[in-house]
Amino acid sequence: MKRDTFETERLILRRWRESDAEDVQRYAIYKNGSGFEAWEQWPTELEECRKVAAYFATNGWAVERKSDSRMIGFVVFNNLNNIEDRLLDLGHGFTHPIASCGEVAEALAVMIQHAFDTLDIDAVDARNEKAWTDNTAPLFALGFVELEDKMQMTREKWAARTSNQEGK
């Protein structure tokens, strides 16, 4: 899992930097004021946001929009060091007033493809509250299915989805 940068037509996905602290702070303020705080609380003090950016540098990617170089969110592999069950736990967060559903799905698709290409996994799982449509809509758009306590994309379903798109 050495790859540090990915690019799409609109986005750059890159490893986190300490200088991302202000973007983390902007995301934390958005997240803590939009109904998510009951599930997880994000620090809003700049020094604590630096610590968050340093932590995510080990297992996550910041998502930056090419047109304005603005960090609009992140994708993280939550259980990268513990995937004995061959299920990868995918986390993501985007500041939705500035990130579109299409941009989120684009970033997630790159990282899901990377995970299936480089890790010996059978499926990618995502755990989001059903009410968090900003987080779940891009997953549904990519073809994730809802299970009892998570959403999931299997390797086989992803391969079928991507081969169908290449044939269009």
pLDDT digits over 27-43, tens only?
A: 787 776 665 554 566 77
Beta-ladder partners of 125 = 89, 152
- Cβ neighbourhood burial of 11 (10 Å; 0-12, 13-18, 19+): buried
Q: To which residue do tokens 């698709």 refer? A: 109
Confidence (pTM) = 0.85
With respect to CATH, is domain 5-166 assigned 3.30.1360.170? Answer: no
Domain boundaries, the chain: 5-166
pLDDT digits over 49-97, tens only?
A: 888 888 888 788 999 999 988 889 889 888 665 667 888 889 898 887 7
Say whether pLDDT at 2 is over 80: no
d(CA 155, CA 42): 32
> Pairing relation of β-strands 87-94 and 11-15?
unpaired
